[in-house]
C-alpha cells in the first residue's frame, strides 16, 4: 500500500470512530436496549486496533493492535448480541474464535503492507 492510501484509510477510520463516539456522548439517552457509551468505546477500540495494524511496523505494536481489535470486537459482540454480565461457554468459544480471526486479519494486512500477492 502506498503512504497516500494508508493515510486515507486511517484518517477515515479514525474520523468515523470519533463521530460515533460523539454521537454516543450527546445522544445516549435516546438509545434504548444497549449501553451506547460502552458500544462506542468498544467500536473505537476496534478501529484503533485496525488503524494500528495498518500503520505499525514493530512486532510489539502488531501484537497490541491485534489484541485491541480482538477484545474490542468481542465486547462489542457481547453488548449487542449477548448479556455482558453473564458469559457462557458459547461466549468463551466465540471469544477464542474471534481471537483467531483477529490474528488472520492482522496477518493479511501485513501481507498487503509487504506488497505480496495474497493468492
Domain locations in the chain as residue ranges: 3-114
Cell digits for 62?
A: 502488531
**Residue 44: closest CA among 65, 22, 72:** 72
pLDDT band at 5 (very low <50, low <70, confident <90, very high): confident
What pLDDT is attached to residue 107? 93
The residue written with cell numbers 494500528 in the block is 52
Q: Which residues of 80-114 are buried (b: 16+ CB within 10 A; e: fewer)?
A: eeeeeeeeeeebeebbeebbeebeebbeebeeeee
pLDDT in tens, 42-72: 999 999 999 899 888 888 989 999 999 999 9
Q: What is the pTM of this model?
A: 0.77
pLDDT in tens, 9-54: 888 998 998 898 888 888 878 888 778 888 888 999 999 999 899 8
Amino acid at each position: 500500500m502506498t503512504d497516500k492510501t494508508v493515510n486515507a484509510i486511517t484518517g477515515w477510520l479514525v474520523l468515523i470512530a470519533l463521530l460515533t463516539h460523539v454521537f454516543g456522548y450527546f445522544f445516549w439517552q435516546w438509545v434504548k436496549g444497549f449501553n451506547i457509551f460502552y458500544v462506542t468505546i468498544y467500536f473505537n477500540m476496534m478501529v484503533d486496533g485496525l488503524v494500528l495494524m495498518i500503520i505499525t511496523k514493530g512486532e510489539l505494536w502488531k501484537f497490541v493492535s491485534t489484541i485491541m481489535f480482538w477484545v474490542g470486537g468481542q465486547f462489542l459482540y457481547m453488548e449487542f448480541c449477548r448479556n455482558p454480565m453473564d458469559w457462557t461457554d458459547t461466549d468463551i468459544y466465540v471469544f477464542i474464535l474471534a481471537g483467531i480471526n483477529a490474528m488472520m486479519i492482522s496477518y493479511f494486512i501485513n501481507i498487503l503492507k509487504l506488497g505480496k500477492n495474497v493468492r
